[in-house]
A and B are shown apart, each in its own frame.
Chain A
């Protein structure tokens, strides 16, 4: 396998180009505020687009074409929210929903802010009821980070719920499964500010992840779980910013081999016929089966390929465990 840093830049470029050419799929549509609107098909994809692009702009040089592409997509996303005004309207409709704040926080991470929404969100977030919203511990962590991003709390508090998450409890690694996998990747994303602050990961989590990411990646990719595989590659890249470990070239090779003709990455290895029961046109279904995995591939590739040299410790300092080194992965 060749030195992948350069290749991964190309991977990120291709993936973001596919995303850019499918902007329409991310558009909010008329039912974004409707009582029966499907938020998972409107606000969620837009928030994910914003989150990935925020990290891309923060980790790339302004002169980099990747940076320009991501900036353009952020501007598009911001326009879709009427420059943040829709968040305020959504909050009036569903004041105790957390998703508007979470999506907003992704845009705020890229510097796109709406002060009136932040003030309104802070009023609701002060209630006991908001703080006691029953959610998975991992989701709770994400909401806490979104509150920080929006100025509800100061940054950098030790997250109180971390030990309640799957990853934070350092479970037996062979109990890993799809749900545990998605929970753990998001804990890492939240703790590391979506890869921009890898040093914020506690050292015991870094050691744990270094030990067990290889078999999780290997088995997810063998099972054709490309979407989770991409998220795990992003986690591996975030961990590697601390440990200096090299890019898992073999795992990347398997993910890239699953790509479609324009560089898009499918969610899993189901045939499109099998997912044909979902509503909408063939194009809608194709988009829904690819957009998230493609975003994740771009995210992971930027994290792995655009590591600033200053952040990289000397490789000799890393990986000196009794084993686990010296053999191709």
Chain B
């Protein structure tokens, strides 16, 4: 697929941001995952857009470790949320991603406005397991322990289908989709044991982990899985 120069620069900024989230999730420093407002150069300029693309996961390390976010990080996150609302004809994943950011803002800063009403899930009614898994993988930031929404309830009703989608994604060597689906599988009840999720996450990381967006989902899945067992 031909990418415009702008979109290539945006993707690079998203990858950088994801790398920071990954090292924070691994237990490293996470004071400066998000470049603060006023950072000089392109990284600073692109930060709000990159945060908007990474969505709620930009604040995932603090959310999982229940650490209050750095105020500067929070400011960029809020700026990204406010600067890029979904357009009127936006796809459902764009709306849900924005809604997830609102929910995260509210968690990180209770003085923020309450999250707006959830978008609907009509576009997933009767979706094949292939389409369902692809869309859930795109919406992996919604897969969080103890957090409920219409998308997560829908996923909970189709654990075998999401597990099938994970198998399909690994077979197709679509590591991003596999990693996102793997993260959902750590949360869903009723996933067949034979899927071998722990080995599957290791395998996806081995094959696709050089892509920070894959590593982020695998690391998130591991953290959530450990939390669920502990």
Contact = CB atoms under 8 A, between A and B. Distances in A.
Determine whether A and B are in direct contact in the complex, meaning some CB atoms lie less than 8 angstroms apart: yes
Interface of A: 170-174, 176, 207-208, 211-212, 214-216, 218-219, 222, 321-324, 326-329
A173 B168 CA distance: 9
B196 interface: yes
A31 B166 CA distance: 49
Given A322-B157, A322-B189, A323-B162, A174 B126 contact: no
A216 B199 CA distance: 19
9 cross-chain pairs, A with B, having the tightest CB-CB distances, nearest first? A172-B196, A322-B190, A324-B160, A323-B158, A174-B170, A215-B167, A215-B168, A323-B160, A219-B171
Given A323-B159, A324-B129, 13 more contacts: A173-B195, A174-B195, A176-B167, A208-B192, A212-B167, A215-B164, A215-B168, A215-B171, A218-B168, A219-B168, A324-B158, A327-B132, A327-B158
Contacts, number: 80
B165 interface: yes
A222 B174 CA distance: 14
B159 A218 contact: no
Contacts of B192: 207-208, 211
Contacts of A172: 194-196, 199-200
A215 B128 CA distance: 12
Given A172-B194, A212-B167, A328-B128, A321 B172 contact: no
B192 to A, nearest CB: 5
B152 to A, nearest CB: 14
Contact of B129 (A214, A222, A321, A322): A214
25 contacts: A171-B196, A172-B196, A172-B199, A174-B166, A174-B178, A174-B200, A174-B203, A176-B171, A208-B194, A211-B163, A211-B192, A215-B168, A219-B171, A219-B172, A222-B172, A321-B190, A322-B159, A323-B159, A323-B160, A323-B162, A324-B129, A327-B126, A327-B127, A327-B129, A327-B158
Interface of B: 126-130, 132, 157-168, 170-172, 178, 189-190, 192, 194-196, 199-200, 203
Contacts of B160: 211, 321-324
Contacts of B167: 173-174, 176, 212, 215-216
Contacts of A216: 167, 171
Query: B-side binding surface: helix, strand, loop or mixed?
Result: helix
Nearest to B170: A174
- Point out which of A172, A216, A328 has the most chain B C-beta atoms below 10 A from its C-beta: A172
Contacts of A218: 130, 168
Contacts of A327: 126-129, 132, 158, 161
Contact of A215 (B132, B158, B165): B165
B128 A212 contact: no
- Point out which of B128, B158, B160, B165 has the most chain A C-beta atoms below 10 A from its C-beta: B160
Contacts of A328: 126, 128
A132 B140 CA distance: 52
Contacts of B162: 323
Nearest to A176: B171
A171 B129 CA distance: 21
A218 B189 CA distance: 24
A307 to B, nearest CB: 23
Contacts of A222: 172
- Point out which of A174, A212, A324 has the most chain B C-beta atoms below 10 A from its C-beta: A174
Nearest to B172: A219
A324 B194 contact: no
Contacts of A329: 128-129
B190 A170 contact: no
Contacts of A322: 157, 159-160, 189-190
B194 A323 contact: no
Contacts of A211: 160, 163-164, 192, 194
B213 to A, nearest CB: 19
A208 to B, nearest CB: 6
A159 B192 CA distance: 25
A173 B129 CA distance: 16
A271 B178 CA distance: 31
Nearest to B125: A327
Nearest to B178: A174
Contact of B171 (A174, A207, A208): A174
- Point out which of A171, A211, A215 has the most chain B C-beta atoms below 10 A from its C-beta: A215
A171 B167 CA distance: 12
A326 B157 CA distance: 11
A214 B159 contact: no
A329 B132 CA distance: 11
A243 to B, nearest CB: 13
B130 to A, nearest CB: 7
